[in-house]
Amino acid sequence: MLNNRVPLAACPPVQETIAYFTGGQAANGTLLLLRHFLCLLILPFAVTFLTSTVHAQVMAGPWVDKSEQRIAECRMGNLHVLVLDAAGQPVANQPVRIKMLRHAFAFGFQVSPLQPDAPYANNAPVWRCFNSVALDKLTEWSRIEPVRGGVDDKLIESAVRWGRSHGLIVRRWGGLFMFDAGHTPGWVAELSGNNLFEACKQSLRDRQERYGSEVNEWDLTRTTGDVDYITSLAGQAGVRGLCHALRAEPSASSDRVYLRFDDALDGQGVQTMVQRLSNLGEAFVPYDGIAITATLAGTVVPTPLERTLEWLEPFAKPVVIAGLSVTGSSPQAAANNLETALRVLFASPNVAGIYLTGVQAPHTYDAASALIGESGEPTPAGLVFDGLIHDLWWTDTTLNTDELGNVRTRVFAGDYSLKVALPEGDSAEMVVRVPVSAVGEQAALMVVQPIKKTPD
């Protein structure tokens, strides 16, 4: 509860927002006026944010209501189900169960080297929310190609099989190249110039030949500094050449190459990212998406996150949060921060996926950011995560057909099971996909009709 006797400008969310817009400078002269202006500007928001309530589930308040409205606009579409009998006639006043199976939006996590040996309960709270995994922790160049041409991908193969066995899509490879000491194969350090770039291109071909049919998102480099290193060797043309090589592979799909930026959801990080994206765009570097990693701590304030995502809109590229860690001063504070971050990210139409750096300690940033505790039960953050994704942002409803056999409703984009009870005890069931393209005014039409029985 907000204490009315505490100056609003002394509250952490207000202080952090002011620091964000003033670059962390002391509020002297002009900046003092700016600080006072910002205090007045964000007063309604701060009161709402600080008085929102969380009980290991979901927040409440005007800001939350607005976020739900934005989520509905960019994540939900119109579903039209037409139920016919075997003779092709409309079936009136019959129940239709519309049960979501998975989101079209990628909710995933980075697989750890030990993950394939860990227990995984598909339908248990938290675990049931995930539909994707990323291989970032397994694909370090020095790990998989310690000797030139000698690929050691046993861990990757194991992770891919593990993901398949649990119905998880292996979407992301992670960074292809990393050039700092300790992460680059020793044999790469001996190369330079054209020899280095040819080695990189050969590695690209090897990775895509093995995993191009599985993976559909490749980060050109693992860190922002790796792009700078390539640029220092061969200018923007070097980056452009590697992106062209990655996209030119026969297995490549239309959304392959991602440019990755570290800690790019805060003020300084996003400024650096936007500037580099602008420079690469001016140099005609072909890329298909933006990957961002971030660790959010302290008190997560929605406004800076929203501004960051707005600054990326002019680039018209999908944004993937490739490695997200959200923590706090306590498990409950981490849960509050996680909900704030998820709401902002899911409400942004250009964000295509969120991948957590881990689910359980020791694979998470710290114990507070874990979704599953040592006992195997959800933590406060885990309860929030499950409550949002598998409850609030989940569609599972039963509706009756009208006199013409129609059911119309709004649903989240994703895969669904449709089950219809027909007269005389018959039933029909089918699995359908409501695509992202159905978000908006266009409706996805699904016709449910049993196969006409033939006489014996």
Of residues 421 and 408, the one with the higher pLDDT is 408
CB 319 within 8 A of CB 351: yes
Quote the tokens at residue 221: 């480099």
- Residue 287 pLDDT > 50: yes
Distance between CA atoms of residues 316 and 65, nearest Å: 27
Distance between CA atoms of residues 322 and 110, nearest Å: 8
Give the CA distances from residue 199 to residues 242, 243, 415, in Å, rounded to whole numbers and listed in that order. 11, 14, 41
pLDDT in tens, 119-128: 566 688 999 9
Distance between CA atoms of residues 420 and 170, nearest Å: 32
Q: What per-residue confidence (pLDDT) applies to 164?
A: 87
Would you place residue 453 in the very low, low, confident or very high pLDDT band (cuts 50, 70, 90)? low
Same domain, 46 and 184: no
When pLDDT is averaged across residues 72-90 and rounded to a whole number, the result is 90
Our measurement of the distance from residue 179's CA atom to the centroid of its chain's CA atoms, rounded to an integer in Å, reads 26
| Angle, helices 193-211/224-248, rounded to nearest 10 degrees | 60
Same domain, 324 and 194: yes
Instruction: Specify if 230 maps to a domain.
Output: yes
Would you place residue 7 in the very low, low, confident or very high pLDDT band (cuts 50, 70, 90)? very low
Instruction: Specify if 307 maps to a domain.
Output: yes
Instruction: Specify if 67 maps to a domain.
Output: no
What percent of the chain clears pLDDT 70, i.e. is strictly above it? 81
Q: What per-residue confidence (pLDDT) applies to 23?
A: 43
Instruction: Specify if 128 maps to a domain.
Output: yes
Q: Give the chain's mean pLDDT.
A: 81
Same domain, 173 and 30: no
Encode 49-66: b = buried (16+ Cβ within 10 Å), e = exposed. Answer: bbebebebbbbebebbee
Model pTM? 0.83
How big is the chain, counted in residues? 456
Same domain, 22 and 159: no
Q: What per-residue confidence (pLDDT) applies to 34?
A: 47
When pLDDT is averaged across residues 71-96 and rounded to a whole number, the result is 91
Would you place residue 450 in the very low, low, confident or very high pLDDT band (cuts 50, 70, 90)? confident
pLDDT in tens, 148-171: 877 888 888 888 888 888 889 998
Q: What per-residue confidence (pLDDT) applies to 237?
A: 85
Q: How many domains does the chain have?
A: 2
Q: What per-residue confidence (pLDDT) applies to 42?
A: 44
Of residues 316 and 256, the one with the higher pLDDT is 316
Instruction: Specify if 15 maps to a domain.
Output: yes
Same domain, 247 and 119: yes
- Residue 261 pLDDT > 80: yes
Same domain, 43 and 179: no
Distance between CA atoms of residues 251 and 247, nearest Å: 9
Of 251-255, 270-274, 324-328, 361-365, the poorest mean pLDDT is in: 251-255
Quote the tokens at residue 212: 């191009």
When pLDDT is averaged across residues 10-25 and rounded to a whole number, the result is 41
Same domain, 154 and 263: yes
Same domain, 182 and 275: yes
Of residues 402 and 247, the one with the higher pLDDT is 402
Sign of CA dihedral 343, 346, 349, 354: positive
Q: Are strands 396-400 and 132-134 parallel, antiparallel or unpaired?
A: unpaired
- Residue 15 pLDDT > 60: no
For residue 130, the SS3 value is coil
What percent of the chain clears pLDDT 90, i.e. is strictly above it? 41
Instruction: Specify if 270 maps to a domain.
Output: yes
CB neighbour list of residue 358: distance below 8 Å, 6 or more residues apart: 109, 110, 112, 325, 364, 365, 369, 370
CB neighbour list of residue 119: distance below 8 Å, 6 or more residues apart: 376
Q: What's 264's domain CATH number?
A: 3.20.20.80
Task: State which residues form the domain around 273.
Answer: 108-346+359-376
Same domain, 366 and 250: yes
Instruction: Specify if 293 maps to a domain.
Output: yes
CB 209 within 8 A of CB 251: yes
Instruction: Specify if 353 maps to a domain.
Output: no
Distance between CA atoms of residues 2 and 397, nearest Å: 38
Same domain, 153 and 289: yes
Q: What per-residue confidence (pLDDT) applies to 44?
A: 41
- Residue 452 pLDDT > 60: no
When pLDDT is averaged across residues 86-107 and rounded to a whole number, the result is 93
Distance between CA atoms of residues 186 and 455, nearest Å: 73
Same domain, 267 and 157: yes
Distance between CA atoms of residues 9 and 33, nearest Å: 13
pLDDT in tens, 338-382: 999 999 999 999 999 999 999 988 888 888 999 999 888 999 999
Q: What per-residue confidence (pLDDT) applies to 26?
A: 42
Q: What per-residue confidence (pLDDT) applies to 117?
A: 53
Same domain, 26 and 139: no
Residue bearing tokens 């359908």: 432
Q: Which long-range contacts (CB under 8 A, 24 or more apart) does 181-188 make?
A: 182/142, 183/140, 183/141, 183/142, 183/222, 184/141, 184/142, 185/141, 185/142, 185/145, 185/146, 185/147, 185/148, 186/142, 186/146, 187/147, 187/148, 188/141
